[in-house]
Amino acid sequence: MALGKIPRFSPSFSPREALTVMHRLARPGDEDTRVRSFEEAFAARIGTRHGIMVPSARYGLVLLVRALGFQPGDEVIVPALTFFAVPAVLLAEGLRVVPADTGLRTHVLDPEAFERAITPRTRAVIPTHLFGTPCDMGRIREIADRHDLKVIEDTAQATGASFRGRAVGSFGHVAYYTFGLTKNMTTLSGAMVTTDDDAVAEHVRAAVASGRPAPLEKSVKEAITGSAMMVATHPWVYPFTVHPVIVLGNRLGKDPIHERFGEAERRYDTIPEAWIDARPRGVQAAVGLRQLERLDRLNGARAANGRRLDEALADVPGLEVPEYPEGAEPIYLSFVVHHDRREDLAAALRRRGVDTTIGYMANISDHSLFPEIRNPDACPNAARAFHRLLHLPVHPNLTPRDLDHMVEAVRSACREIAT
């Protein structure tokens, strides 16, 4: 940290990985072999038989529901607080989406709400390990097995997190992950599905193999964006460049980062064209292999920061810190607090140099994109969280001094807005 300015996130992309990109672009080698090596290493880390790289998690989800043989009209239970693209792709596949409530402060699927949402037409459930917090996979798997339902784990925000010592993604019949620049692990766009089911794996692998090679320009563009983020969030650069832009943008009523990484997403079609039918490239796999070597260290640093914030902020008047299902070992992709006046809190923190975001998760049970499933009273916890949540910085590049500064800033900001 320099001058008490703390960015809301910082990419898990290193100069060494930027060099890997340049090296792979100059000498591509055998693309398929490299992709296979990453898939195998990834599956071994999660503990599943198969890993298959896909261009995006949402396209991976499409391939999975097709491989599982779901029919139009089949119901899939989805947590009400999630990323809008998940229900969007299911609806586009002709499936019925049934939102179920999340725990108020865990933000992940409530097993009881899941069980209540089951009907004779239910075929599957999607436990989403939102914000890096594992769902209660013991209860969810038990309920799903009792009702003969498939479990599709949404591990997009929790690669490497565990539940009772076992990696999430290995509890379901299938799971999907995503590796954009804002996630805890990146392959410069690109995603993965894992499963122990040979037939599902074969179906997904064949679909991916029939696609065109992903455009190299996209990887190059992402590598440039990742390098720019690395520089922009560096303590010697951020206070003099990005921070003043954020302050000015917010004074003018627009948050420039949210516009770029949050709002922009909502304008997309369900799946942007570049993210369909594109065969991931060796360069992405090469970055993925390097990231995998660092994953546990990066996750460990996030988790240590998160635990520090959990403890230090637990007693702040007006603020509610997150909770975790028993047995969950979160990786803190985000540290999400609740406050009745979150905009005032965000502004007060900005004045103290701490940047925050409300992020882009939605309450899908009350969303203009999904009139067919709208039922504003059905999921009160998700609705309450949606209107009150705020993400505090928790990324691995925070120093102990940053954390001390943040804790003090949150305490004094909460005091200020309470008066």
Ligand X SMILES: Cc1ncc(COP(=O)(O)O)c(C=O)c1O
Does the footprint of ligand X cover residue 88 (CB under 6 A)?
no
Options 10, 48, 128, 159; binder of ligand X; rule CB under 6 A: 128
Interacting stretch for ligand X, rule CB under 6 A, among 19-27, 52-60, 220-228, 382-390? 52-60
* Pick 178 or 308: Cβ nearer ligand X: 178
Does the footprint of ligand X cover residue 83 (CB under 6 A)?
yes
**Shortest distance, position 248 Cβ to ligand X, whole Å:** 27
Does the footprint of ligand X cover residue 284 (CB under 6 A)?
no
- In sequence order, the 6+-apart residues with CB closer than 8 A to the CB of 364 are 78, 80, 81, 82, 84, 86, 87, 97, 99, 370, 373
**Shortest distance, position 156 Cβ to ligand X, whole Å:** 3
Q: What is the DSSP letter of 364?
A: G
Does the footprint of ligand X cover residue 178 (CB under 6 A)?
yes
Would strands 150-154 and 122-125 be described as parallel, antiparallel, or unpaired?
parallel
Does the footprint of ligand X cover residue 157 (CB under 6 A)?
yes
Q: Which helix (H) or strand (E) holds 122?
A: strand 122-125
Does the footprint of ligand X cover residue 191 (CB under 6 A)?
yes
**Shortest distance, position 158 Cβ to ligand X, whole Å:** 9
* Pick 68 or 86: Cβ nearer ligand X: 86
Q: Is 213 exposed, middle or buried (0-12, 13-18, 19+ CB in 10 A)?
A: exposed
Interacting stretch for ligand X, rule CB under 6 A, among 38-46, 53-61, 312-320, 399-407? 53-61
Please, are residues 322 and 130 in contact by the beta-carbon 8 Å criterion?
no
Options 5, 8, 58, 123; binder of ligand X; rule CB under 6 A: 58
Options 21, 68, 156, 409; binder of ligand X; rule CB under 6 A: 156
Interacting stretch for ligand X, rule CB under 6 A, among 81-89, 90-98, 194-202, 213-221? 81-89
Nearest to 9 by CA among 359, 294, 408, 385: 359
Would strands 174-178 and 81-82 be described as parallel, antiparallel, or unpaired?
unpaired
How many other CB atoms sit within 10 Å of the CB of residue 308?
18
Positive or negative torsion for Cα 115, 121, 124, 125: negative
User: Rounded to an integer, what distance in angstroms lies between the CA atom of residue 86 and that of residue 97?
Assistant: 10
Q: Residue 175: helix, strand or coil by DSSP?
A: strand
Interacting stretch for ligand X, rule CB under 6 A, among 83-91, 319-327, 348-356, 378-386? 83-91
* Pick 152 or 383: Cβ nearer ligand X: 152
Q: Provide the residue count of the chain.
A: 419
Residues that bind ligand X (CB under 6 A): 56-58, 82-83, 85-86, 128, 154, 156-157, 178, 191
